[in-house]
Structure 1
Amino acid sequence: MDTEHYRAAVKHVIETYARFRPSHGNIRLDTVFDEIHDRYALMQAGWDRGRRVRGNLIYITLQDGKVVVEYDGIEHGITDDLIRQGVEEKDIVLAFLEERYITAV
């Protein structure tokens, strides 16, 4: 694994989704990049229909040469986006599934 390449790929994918705007509500999307600890997130915060909206949309860590998807709240998933950015399929771990390593995408 090329750590710098994987960092850049993860950040690119998150930044891509951060440009989208929710179809309703007053919701802000924030990128959170911690390169020291290799933690990367897309957070949402705001209001929709009188209710507070907050939490993760994407949370990824880099560990032991792998891109670990801790949480993927994107409707169609981000695995294909990571692969298109050059992340090796064998290096993607879907930590939110009981079967941790993906097979075919």
Structure 2
Amino acid sequence: MASVDSYRQLVQDLLEDYSKVDFNNPDLETELIFDTQRDRYQVVHVGWSNKRRVYGCVLHLDIKDGKIWIQHDGTEGGIALELVERGVPKHDIVLGFHSPFKRQFTEFAVS
């Protein structure tokens, strides 16, 4: 298991990369929300598109008990695979958006 500090930095860097996606819409903002005291990290879209309000969490990751918990993943490819590509072992990644029963059938941590 890597240190929580290294996971903190890795998660922040990864979410920062996601926040740089350009939607060519000046009325749509991507917000990074980092709570480093409680280890909660989010990417949220806020604004307007085609006269409609846009507000939604794209990614929500927590660090609990030395593991990275993916609470919400609204990406196409999946943030878990990107974490693995960046060196996080699968046993340190929990797919929190799956029920505890279903997690046992994935290749990632149960909790």
Mean Cα deviation higher: 82-91 or 61-70: 82-91
**2:58 aligned partner, one-letter code:** L
Q: Which residue of 1 aligns with 2:45?
A: 44
Q: Which residue of 2 aligns with 1:85?
A: 86
Question: Following TM superposition, by how much is the alpha carbon of 1:100 offset from its aligned partner in structure 2, in angstroms?
Answer: 2.7
Larger RCO: Structure 1 or Structure 2 (Cα < 8 Å, ≥ 6 residues apart)? 1
Unaligned runs of 5+ in 1: none
How many correspondences in the alignment? 104
- Structure number with greater Rg is 2
RMSD: 1.7
Unaligned runs of 5+ in 2: none
Question: Would you identify which runs of 4 or more consecutive aligned residues in structure 1 move more than 4 Å?
Answer: none
Q: Is the CA contact 1:58–1:72 (under 8 Å) kept in the aligned structure 2?
A: yes
Q: Which residue of 1 aligns with 2:107?
A: 103
Question: Following TM superposition, by how much is the alpha carbon of 1:84 offset from its aligned partner in structure 2, in angstroms?
Answer: 2.2
Q: Which residue of 1 aligns with 2:21?
A: 20
TM-score by length of 2: 0.85
Q: How far does the alpha carbon of each residue in 1:2-36 deviate from its partner, in whole angstroms, 9 at most, with x for none?
A: 10111111111100000002255731101111110
Q: CA separation in 2, counterparts of 1:18 and 1:41?
A: 10
Question: Following TM superposition, by how much is the alpha carbon of 1:62 offset from its aligned partner in structure 2, in angstroms?
Answer: 0.5
